[in-house]
């Protein structure tokens, strides 16, 4: 069985997340998604998420493509997660460059450039200021 892993922040879930997770599921039989916890997002992006980790995990776990959700405590702990969960397929955006060890195959997903959480947050702020 091919066990896949990918990670997301998923702070304001959008079309790009859905496309990414569907792509990831196409490359494995069982997909584990690491939802970065609040502190991991702060260390990685230098800001806290708008939606807290429990809510983001619940939202991601409800998606059809996702078989299991785990919290990810660091952007860089990929190989530890791979070892702990017997993952043999690692899927990530082609904008990232994390290396994996062992027999784990890395699959690059296309980045959906036309929508991301930062753009959505900026759009909300602009509209809020106008009202």
Q: Encode the chain in three state secondary structure.
A: CCEEEEEECCCCCCHHHHHHHHHHHCCCCEEEEEEECHHHHHHHHCCCCCCCHHHHHHHHHCCCCCCEEEEECCCCCHHHHHHHCCCCEEEEECCCCCCCCCCCEEEEECCCCCCCHHHHHHHHHHHHHHC
* Interval 67-125: pLDDT, tens: 999 999 998 888 999 999 999 999 998 887 778 888 899 999 988 766 677 777 777 77
- What pLDDT score does 121 carry? 76
> How many separate domains does the chain show?
1
Q: Which of the four pLDDT bands, split at 50, 70 and 90, describes residue 31?
A: very high
Two tokens, residue 88? 């043999």
- What pLDDT score does 99 carry? 82
Q: Which of the four pLDDT bands, split at 50, 70 and 90, describes residue 26?
A: very high
- What pLDDT score does 131 carry? 64
CATH code of the domain in which 51 resides: 3.40.50.620
Q: What is the mean pLDDT of residues 45-56?
A: 93
Q: For residue 36, what are the domain limits?
A: 3-130
Give the predicted TM-score (pTM) of the model: 0.89
């Amino acid at each position: 069985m091919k066990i896949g892993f990918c990670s997301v922040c998923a702070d304001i879930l959008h079309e790009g997340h859905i496309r990414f997770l569907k792509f990831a599921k196409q490359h494995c039989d069982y997909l584990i998604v690491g939802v970065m916890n609040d502190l991991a997002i702060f260390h990685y992006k230098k800001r806290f998420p708008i939606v807290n980790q429990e809510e983001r995990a619940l939202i991601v776990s409800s998606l059809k493509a996702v078989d299991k959700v785990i919290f990810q405590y660091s952007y860089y702990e990929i190989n530890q997660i791979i070892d702990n969960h017997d993952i043999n397929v690692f899927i990530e955006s082609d904008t990232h460059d994390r290396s994996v060890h062992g027999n784990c195959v890395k699959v690059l997903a296309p980045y959906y450039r036309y929508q991301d959480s930062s753009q959505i947050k900026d759009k909300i702020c602009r509209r809020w200021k106008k009202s």
